[in-house]
Amino acid sequence: MSTQPLDAIVIGGGIVGASAALWLARAGKQVALLERDFCGSRSSGVNYGGVRRQGRSLVQLPLSCRAHQIWGQLPELLGIDGEYVRSGHLKLARSESDFAALQRWATLSEPFDLGLQLLDRQQLRARFPWVGDIAVGASYCPEDGHANPRLMSPAFAQAARRHGAHVHEQCTVTAVEPSGAGFTVHTAQGQRFSAPWLLNCAGAWAAALASQVGEPVPLVAGHPAMLVTEPLPMFMTASTGVEGGGIYARQVARGNCVMGGGQGFALGESTARAGQLAVLDILRNACELYPALAGAQAIRTWSGTEGYLPDREPVLGPSSTTPGLLHGFGFAGAGFQIGPAAGEALAECILLGEPRHSLQAFSIERFQHSTRSNAPCA
Protein backbone atom coordinates (compact mmCIF):
# COMPACT_ATOMS: atom_id res chain seq x y z
CA MET A 1 0.00 0.00 0.00
CA SER A 2 1.37 3.42 -0.91
CA THR A 3 0.41 6.99 -0.18
CA GLN A 4 1.52 9.49 -2.79
CA PRO A 5 1.54 13.29 -2.21
CA LEU A 6 -0.69 14.62 -4.94
CA ASP A 7 -2.55 17.79 -5.86
CA ALA A 8 -5.38 16.00 -7.63
CA ILE A 9 -6.80 12.55 -8.33
CA VAL A 10 -8.82 11.93 -11.49
CA ILE A 11 -11.16 8.92 -11.57
CA GLY A 12 -11.67 7.81 -15.19
CA GLY A 13 -9.26 7.84 -18.12
CA GLY A 14 -11.76 8.75 -20.83
CA ILE A 15 -11.25 11.87 -22.91
CA VAL A 16 -12.64 14.11 -20.14
CA GLY A 17 -10.53 12.76 -17.28
CA ALA A 18 -7.40 12.38 -19.37
CA SER A 19 -7.78 15.90 -20.73
CA ALA A 20 -8.18 17.28 -17.19
CA ALA A 21 -5.05 15.36 -16.13
CA LEU A 22 -3.14 16.72 -19.10
CA TRP A 23 -4.05 20.36 -18.40
CA LEU A 24 -3.20 19.94 -14.71
CA ALA A 25 0.12 18.22 -15.41
CA ARG A 26 1.05 20.88 -17.96
CA ALA A 27 0.51 23.46 -15.21
CA GLY A 28 2.94 21.58 -12.94
CA LYS A 29 0.38 19.89 -10.70
CA GLN A 30 0.99 16.41 -9.30
CA VAL A 31 -1.95 14.41 -10.62
CA ALA A 32 -2.90 10.74 -10.59
CA LEU A 33 -5.19 9.45 -13.33
CA LEU A 34 -6.90 6.22 -12.25
CA GLU A 35 -8.53 4.09 -14.95
CA ARG A 36 -10.32 0.79 -14.33
CA ASP A 37 -9.57 -0.59 -17.80
CA PHE A 38 -7.31 1.15 -20.32
CA CYS A 39 -7.37 4.88 -20.98
CA GLY A 40 -9.81 5.58 -23.79
CA SER A 41 -11.15 2.04 -23.88
CA ARG A 42 -14.76 2.96 -23.07
CA SER A 43 -17.04 5.55 -24.73
CA SER A 44 -14.12 7.80 -25.57
CA GLY A 45 -12.40 5.18 -27.70
CA VAL A 46 -15.35 3.45 -29.35
CA ASN A 47 -17.49 6.38 -30.41
CA TYR A 48 -18.43 7.44 -33.92
CA GLY A 49 -15.69 10.07 -34.09
CA GLY A 50 -17.89 13.04 -34.90
CA VAL A 51 -16.25 16.35 -34.00
CA ARG A 52 -19.08 18.81 -34.49
CA ARG A 53 -20.40 21.98 -32.97
CA GLN A 54 -23.43 22.07 -35.26
CA GLY A 55 -26.66 20.94 -33.62
CA ARG A 56 -25.53 21.23 -30.00
CA SER A 57 -27.57 22.93 -27.32
CA LEU A 58 -26.74 26.63 -27.27
CA VAL A 59 -25.46 26.45 -23.68
CA GLN A 60 -22.74 24.04 -24.84
CA LEU A 61 -21.50 26.26 -27.64
CA PRO A 62 -19.00 28.39 -25.67
CA LEU A 63 -17.23 25.25 -24.45
CA SER A 64 -17.66 23.50 -27.78
CA CYS A 65 -16.07 26.46 -29.59
CA ARG A 66 -13.17 26.34 -27.13
CA ALA A 67 -12.88 22.62 -27.89
CA HIS A 68 -12.79 23.49 -31.59
CA GLN A 69 -9.66 25.58 -30.92
CA ILE A 70 -8.04 22.73 -28.97
CA TRP A 71 -8.82 20.26 -31.77
CA GLY A 72 -6.95 22.59 -34.10
CA GLN A 73 -3.80 22.23 -31.95
CA LEU A 74 -3.62 18.44 -31.55
CA PRO A 75 -0.15 17.85 -33.00
CA GLU A 76 1.34 20.46 -30.63
CA LEU A 77 -0.70 19.22 -27.67
CA LEU A 78 -0.60 15.45 -28.15
CA GLY A 79 2.06 14.78 -30.76
CA ILE A 80 -0.47 13.18 -33.15
CA ASP A 81 -3.27 14.49 -35.34
CA GLY A 82 -5.62 11.61 -34.44
CA GLU A 83 -6.75 11.49 -38.10
CA TYR A 84 -8.67 14.68 -37.31
CA VAL A 85 -9.97 16.38 -40.44
CA ARG A 86 -12.10 19.47 -40.79
CA SER A 87 -14.19 17.82 -43.48
CA GLY A 88 -17.25 19.94 -42.77
CA HIS A 89 -20.46 18.65 -41.16
CA LEU A 90 -23.54 18.38 -43.34
CA LYS A 91 -26.81 18.17 -41.44
CA LEU A 92 -29.55 16.97 -43.74
CA ALA A 93 -33.30 17.71 -43.64
CA ARG A 94 -35.77 15.12 -44.92
CA SER A 95 -38.80 17.45 -44.75
CA GLU A 96 -39.56 21.14 -45.03
CA SER A 97 -40.28 21.29 -41.31
CA ASP A 98 -36.87 19.73 -40.58
CA PHE A 99 -35.26 22.30 -42.87
CA ALA A 100 -37.09 25.05 -40.96
CA ALA A 101 -35.61 23.61 -37.73
CA LEU A 102 -32.11 23.84 -39.26
CA GLN A 103 -32.80 27.45 -40.24
CA ARG A 104 -33.94 28.27 -36.71
CA TRP A 105 -30.80 26.75 -35.17
CA ALA A 106 -28.64 28.66 -37.66
CA THR A 107 -30.24 31.93 -36.52
CA LEU A 108 -29.91 31.10 -32.83
CA SER A 109 -26.25 30.11 -33.16
CA GLU A 110 -25.25 33.24 -35.11
CA PRO A 111 -23.39 34.81 -32.13
CA PHE A 112 -20.96 31.87 -32.24
CA ASP A 113 -19.92 32.54 -35.82
CA LEU A 114 -19.91 28.91 -36.99
CA GLY A 115 -19.97 29.95 -40.65
CA LEU A 116 -23.10 27.87 -41.34
CA GLN A 117 -24.32 27.63 -44.92
CA LEU A 118 -27.99 26.78 -45.50
CA LEU A 119 -28.46 24.85 -48.72
CA ASP A 120 -31.82 24.39 -50.46
CA ARG A 121 -32.51 21.25 -52.50
CA GLN A 122 -30.86 22.61 -55.64
CA GLN A 123 -27.77 23.92 -53.85
CA LEU A 124 -27.44 20.65 -51.93
CA ARG A 125 -27.55 18.58 -55.17
CA ALA A 126 -24.94 20.84 -56.78
CA ARG A 127 -22.50 20.81 -53.82
CA PHE A 128 -23.05 17.24 -52.54
CA PRO A 129 -24.32 15.12 -55.45
CA TRP A 130 -23.84 11.91 -53.42
CA VAL A 131 -26.74 12.79 -51.09
CA GLY A 132 -29.99 10.94 -51.88
CA ASP A 133 -33.15 12.61 -53.21
CA ILE A 134 -34.88 12.14 -49.87
CA ALA A 135 -32.96 15.19 -48.53
CA VAL A 136 -34.76 18.47 -49.20
CA GLY A 137 -32.03 20.74 -47.83
CA ALA A 138 -29.14 20.92 -45.40
CA SER A 139 -27.06 23.07 -43.11
CA TYR A 140 -23.31 22.86 -43.71
CA CYS A 141 -20.74 23.76 -41.05
CA PRO A 142 -17.45 23.93 -42.96
CA GLU A 143 -15.03 23.66 -40.02
CA ASP A 144 -16.64 20.76 -38.16
CA GLY A 145 -15.20 17.33 -38.90
CA HIS A 146 -14.24 13.94 -37.57
CA ALA A 147 -11.36 12.01 -36.00
CA ASN A 148 -10.31 8.51 -34.99
CA PRO A 149 -11.39 7.97 -31.36
CA ARG A 150 -9.16 4.91 -31.00
CA LEU A 151 -6.12 7.13 -31.50
CA MET A 152 -7.33 10.34 -29.96
CA SER A 153 -8.55 9.37 -26.52
CA PRO A 154 -5.56 7.28 -25.37
CA ALA A 155 -3.32 10.05 -26.73
CA PHE A 156 -4.62 12.50 -24.11
CA ALA A 157 -3.55 10.10 -21.34
CA GLN A 158 -0.19 9.47 -22.99
CA ALA A 159 0.42 13.22 -23.27
CA ALA A 160 -0.56 13.66 -19.61
CA ARG A 161 2.00 11.00 -18.68
CA ARG A 162 4.71 12.77 -20.70
CA HIS A 163 3.94 15.92 -18.71
CA GLY A 164 4.41 14.06 -15.43
CA ALA A 165 0.93 12.74 -14.59
CA HIS A 166 0.90 9.37 -12.79
CA VAL A 167 -1.31 7.26 -15.05
CA HIS A 168 -2.57 4.02 -13.50
CA GLU A 169 -4.45 1.64 -15.79
CA GLN A 170 -6.32 -1.47 -14.66
CA CYS A 171 -6.78 0.41 -11.43
CA THR A 172 -10.35 0.31 -10.12
CA VAL A 173 -11.46 2.86 -7.56
CA THR A 174 -13.49 1.02 -4.95
CA ALA A 175 -13.84 3.56 -2.14
CA VAL A 176 -13.49 7.29 -1.55
CA GLU A 177 -13.31 8.73 1.94
CA PRO A 178 -12.70 12.20 3.33
CA SER A 179 -9.23 12.72 4.75
CA GLY A 180 -7.75 15.89 6.22
CA ALA A 181 -8.46 18.68 3.76
CA GLY A 182 -9.20 16.28 0.92
CA PHE A 183 -9.83 12.70 -0.08
CA THR A 184 -8.31 9.26 0.18
CA VAL A 185 -9.08 6.93 -2.68
CA HIS A 186 -8.71 3.13 -2.39
CA THR A 187 -8.40 0.80 -5.35
CA ALA A 188 -9.18 -2.88 -5.91
CA GLN A 189 -5.47 -3.37 -6.53
CA GLY A 190 -4.64 -2.25 -2.98
CA GLN A 191 -3.29 1.21 -3.76
CA ARG A 192 -4.21 4.32 -1.77
CA PHE A 193 -4.03 7.88 -3.11
CA SER A 194 -4.68 11.11 -1.21
CA ALA A 195 -5.16 14.63 -2.56
CA PRO A 196 -7.07 17.84 -1.82
CA TRP A 197 -8.84 17.67 -5.21
CA LEU A 198 -10.85 14.76 -6.64
CA LEU A 199 -12.28 14.70 -10.17
CA ASN A 200 -15.22 12.37 -10.83
CA CYS A 201 -14.83 11.65 -14.57
CA ALA A 202 -16.12 8.07 -14.47
CA GLY A 203 -18.50 8.39 -17.44
CA ALA A 204 -21.62 6.23 -17.23
CA TRP A 205 -20.40 4.97 -13.85
CA ALA A 206 -20.05 8.38 -12.17
CA ALA A 207 -23.38 8.47 -10.33
CA ALA A 208 -22.23 6.23 -7.46
CA LEU A 209 -19.71 8.76 -6.16
CA ALA A 210 -22.15 11.65 -6.67
CA SER A 211 -24.71 9.73 -4.67
CA GLN A 212 -22.18 8.94 -1.93
CA VAL A 213 -21.66 12.67 -1.34
CA GLY A 214 -25.40 13.39 -1.24
CA GLU A 215 -25.88 14.41 -4.87
CA PRO A 216 -27.96 11.67 -6.49
CA VAL A 217 -28.36 12.14 -10.25
CA PRO A 218 -30.74 10.36 -12.66
CA LEU A 219 -27.87 9.15 -14.86
CA VAL A 220 -28.78 6.25 -17.15
CA ALA A 221 -26.61 4.24 -19.52
CA GLY A 222 -27.20 4.37 -23.28
CA HIS A 223 -25.59 2.39 -26.09
CA PRO A 224 -25.43 4.09 -29.51
CA ALA A 225 -25.31 1.51 -32.32
CA MET A 226 -22.41 1.68 -34.78
CA LEU A 227 -21.20 -0.10 -37.90
CA VAL A 228 -18.45 0.21 -40.47
CA THR A 229 -18.46 -0.88 -44.11
CA GLU A 230 -15.74 -2.43 -46.22
CA PRO A 231 -13.45 0.15 -47.91
CA LEU A 232 -15.31 1.88 -50.76
CA PRO A 233 -14.28 4.37 -53.44
CA MET A 234 -14.17 7.82 -51.84
CA PHE A 235 -17.42 9.75 -52.30
CA MET A 236 -18.50 11.23 -48.96
CA THR A 237 -16.83 14.60 -48.73
CA ALA A 238 -18.29 15.64 -45.35
CA SER A 239 -19.31 14.06 -42.06
CA THR A 240 -23.11 13.93 -42.05
CA GLY A 241 -26.03 13.88 -39.68
CA VAL A 242 -29.77 14.23 -40.02
CA GLU A 243 -32.17 16.65 -38.37
CA GLY A 244 -34.26 14.60 -35.94
CA GLY A 245 -31.54 11.94 -35.64
CA GLY A 246 -31.61 8.37 -36.91
CA ILE A 247 -28.28 8.17 -38.69
CA TYR A 248 -24.86 9.80 -38.95
CA ALA A 249 -22.12 8.78 -41.35
CA ARG A 250 -18.56 9.63 -42.36
CA GLN A 251 -15.99 8.13 -44.69
CA VAL A 252 -12.40 7.69 -43.55
CA ALA A 253 -9.29 8.04 -45.71
CA ARG A 254 -9.07 4.24 -46.19
CA GLY A 255 -12.56 4.29 -47.76
CA ASN A 256 -14.57 2.65 -44.97
CA CYS A 257 -17.85 4.36 -44.10
CA VAL A 258 -18.49 4.60 -40.35
CA MET A 259 -22.16 4.95 -39.44
CA GLY A 260 -24.23 5.21 -36.31
CA GLY A 261 -27.84 5.56 -35.24
CA GLY A 262 -30.37 4.29 -32.75
CA GLN A 263 -29.56 2.35 -29.62
CA GLY A 264 -28.06 -1.07 -29.03
CA PHE A 265 -28.25 -2.95 -25.75
CA ALA A 266 -26.13 -3.70 -22.69
CA LEU A 267 -24.45 -7.06 -22.29
CA GLY A 268 -23.18 -6.19 -18.84
CA GLU A 269 -22.29 -3.17 -16.72
CA SER A 270 -19.65 -1.99 -19.20
CA THR A 271 -20.15 -3.98 -22.39
CA ALA A 272 -22.75 -3.46 -25.12
CA ARG A 273 -23.74 -4.58 -28.60
CA ALA A 274 -25.27 -2.69 -31.52
CA GLY A 275 -28.26 -5.04 -31.92
CA GLN A 276 -29.85 -6.32 -35.11
CA LEU A 277 -32.79 -3.90 -35.25
CA ALA A 278 -30.63 -0.80 -34.86
CA VAL A 279 -28.18 -2.08 -37.49
CA LEU A 280 -30.97 -2.78 -39.99
CA ASP A 281 -32.36 0.69 -39.37
CA ILE A 282 -28.97 2.30 -40.00
CA LEU A 283 -28.59 0.35 -43.26
CA ARG A 284 -32.09 1.27 -44.45
CA ASN A 285 -31.52 4.96 -43.68
CA ALA A 286 -28.08 4.83 -45.28
CA CYS A 287 -29.36 3.53 -48.60
CA GLU A 288 -31.95 6.32 -48.77
CA LEU A 289 -29.56 9.09 -47.84
CA TYR A 290 -26.35 7.87 -49.51
CA PRO A 291 -27.31 5.74 -52.55
CA ALA A 292 -23.65 4.85 -53.23
CA LEU A 293 -23.84 2.60 -50.18
CA ALA A 294 -26.41 0.25 -51.74
CA GLY A 295 -24.87 -3.24 -51.72
CA ALA A 296 -21.92 -2.25 -49.48
CA GLN A 297 -20.86 -4.87 -46.92
CA ALA A 298 -20.95 -3.96 -43.24
CA ILE A 299 -17.85 -5.63 -41.80
CA ARG A 300 -18.24 -4.83 -38.09
CA THR A 301 -20.83 -3.55 -35.65
CA TRP A 302 -20.31 -2.33 -32.10
CA SER A 303 -21.59 -0.09 -29.34
CA GLY A 304 -20.39 1.49 -26.10
CA THR A 305 -21.68 2.59 -22.72
CA GLU A 306 -22.44 6.28 -22.32
CA GLY A 307 -24.07 8.31 -19.51
CA TYR A 308 -27.24 10.31 -20.19
CA LEU A 309 -29.06 12.77 -17.95
CA PRO A 310 -32.72 13.65 -18.62
CA ASP A 311 -31.92 17.09 -20.09
CA ARG A 312 -29.04 15.62 -22.13
CA GLU A 313 -26.62 18.17 -20.66
CA PRO A 314 -23.55 17.02 -18.74
CA VAL A 315 -22.81 17.58 -15.09
CA LEU A 316 -19.64 19.65 -15.14
CA GLY A 317 -18.10 21.60 -12.30
CA PRO A 318 -17.88 21.70 -8.50
CA SER A 319 -19.86 19.45 -6.20
CA SER A 320 -22.51 21.37 -4.27
CA THR A 321 -21.90 19.38 -1.09
CA THR A 322 -18.22 18.54 -0.99
CA PRO A 323 -15.43 21.11 -1.34
CA GLY A 324 -12.59 19.85 -3.54
CA LEU A 325 -14.77 17.44 -5.51
CA LEU A 326 -15.38 18.22 -9.20
CA HIS A 327 -17.76 16.29 -11.45
CA GLY A 328 -17.48 15.82 -15.22
CA PHE A 329 -19.85 13.21 -16.67
CA GLY A 330 -23.09 12.59 -18.57
CA PHE A 331 -22.15 13.84 -22.04
CA ALA A 332 -25.14 12.14 -23.71
CA GLY A 333 -23.52 10.83 -26.86
CA ALA A 334 -21.72 14.07 -27.67
CA GLY A 335 -18.72 14.29 -25.34
CA PHE A 336 -15.95 13.40 -27.76
CA GLN A 337 -15.87 16.82 -29.39
CA ILE A 338 -16.36 18.83 -26.22
CA GLY A 339 -14.29 16.51 -23.97
CA PRO A 340 -10.93 18.28 -24.34
CA ALA A 341 -12.51 21.60 -23.28
CA ALA A 342 -14.55 19.95 -20.51
CA GLY A 343 -11.32 18.58 -19.07
CA GLU A 344 -9.67 21.96 -19.40
CA ALA A 345 -12.61 23.63 -17.61
CA LEU A 346 -12.24 21.19 -14.69
CA ALA A 347 -8.52 21.90 -14.54
CA GLU A 348 -9.25 25.64 -14.53
CA CYS A 349 -11.50 25.20 -11.48
CA ILE A 350 -8.32 24.14 -9.67
CA LEU A 351 -5.75 26.33 -11.40
CA LEU A 352 -7.74 29.59 -11.68
CA GLY A 353 -10.42 29.18 -9.03
CA GLU A 354 -13.08 29.23 -11.74
CA PRO A 355 -13.17 28.27 -15.42
CA ARG A 356 -13.03 30.90 -18.18
CA HIS A 357 -16.45 29.71 -19.50
CA SER A 358 -19.33 29.58 -17.03
CA LEU A 359 -20.39 26.06 -16.07
CA GLN A 360 -23.63 27.24 -14.45
CA ALA A 361 -25.83 25.43 -17.00
CA PHE A 362 -24.12 22.14 -16.12
CA SER A 363 -24.33 22.42 -12.34
CA ILE A 364 -25.23 19.24 -10.46
CA GLU A 365 -27.52 21.40 -8.32
CA ARG A 366 -30.16 21.24 -11.07
CA PHE A 367 -30.96 17.70 -9.89
CA GLN A 368 -31.30 18.54 -6.24
CA HIS A 369 -35.10 18.59 -6.41
CA SER A 370 -35.62 16.11 -9.23
CA THR A 371 -34.20 12.66 -9.81
CA ARG A 372 -36.63 11.61 -12.52
CA SER A 373 -35.04 9.27 -15.09
CA ASN A 374 -35.65 9.47 -18.84
CA ALA A 375 -34.75 6.79 -21.37
CA PRO A 376 -31.91 7.86 -23.66
CA CYS A 377 -32.48 8.27 -27.37
CA ALA A 378 -30.10 8.62 -30.34
Ligand X SMILES: Cc1cc2nc3c(=O)[nH]c(=O)nc-3n(C[C@H](O)[C@H](O)[C@H](O)COP(=O)(O)OP(=O)(O)OC[C@H]3O[C@@H](n4cnc5c(N)ncnc54)[C@H](O)[C@@H]3O)c2cc1C
Which DSSP category does 205 fall into? G
Instruction: Decide if residue 334 touches ligand X (CB under 6 A).
Output: yes
| Sole binder of ligand X in the list 7, 10, 13, 167 (CB under 6 A) | 13
**What distance in Å separates the CA atoms of residue 60 and residue 68, rounded to the nearest whole number?**
12
- Min dist CB 46 to ligand X, Å, is 6
Q: Residues 226, 231, 232, 236: is their CA dihedral positive or negative?
A: positive
Per DSSP, the three-state class of 48 is coil
Instruction: Decide if residue 48 touches ligand X (CB under 6 A).
Output: yes
| Sole binder of ligand X in the list 9, 14, 278, 285 (CB under 6 A) | 14
**What distance in Å separates the CA atoms of residue 360 and residue 362, rounded to the nearest whole number?**
5
Q: Which is nearer to ligand X, 33 or 138 (CB)?
A: 33
**What distance in Å separates the CA atoms of residue 336 and residue 47, rounded to the nearest whole number?**
8
Largest pairwise CA distance in the chain: 68
* Residues between 197 and 236 with contacts to ligand X, criterion CB under 6 A: 201-205, 224, 226
Instruction: Decide if residue 239 touches ligand X (CB under 6 A).
Output: no
CA distances in angstroms from 187 to 1, 167, 270, 306, listed in the order given:
10, 14, 18, 23
Binding mask 292-331 for ligand X (x = CB under 6 A): -----------xx-x----------------------x-x
Q: Which is nearer to ligand X, 136 or 298 (CB)?
A: 298
Binding mask 147-186 for ligand X (x = CB under 6 A): -------------------------xx-------------
Contact 202, 307 (CB under 8 A): no
* Residues between 182 and 201 with contacts to ligand X, criterion CB under 6 A: 201
Total residues binding ligand X (CB under 6 A): 41
Q: Please provide residue 30's backbone torsions phi and psi, each rounded to the nearest 5 degrees.
A: -85, 115
Instruction: Decide if residue 364 touches ligand X (CB under 6 A).
Output: no
**What distance in Å separates the CA atoms of residue 56 and residue 29, rounded to the nearest whole number?**
32
Residues that bind ligand X (CB under 6 A): 11-17, 34-37, 41-44, 46-50, 172-173, 201-205, 224, 226, 260, 303-304, 306, 329, 331, 333-337, 339
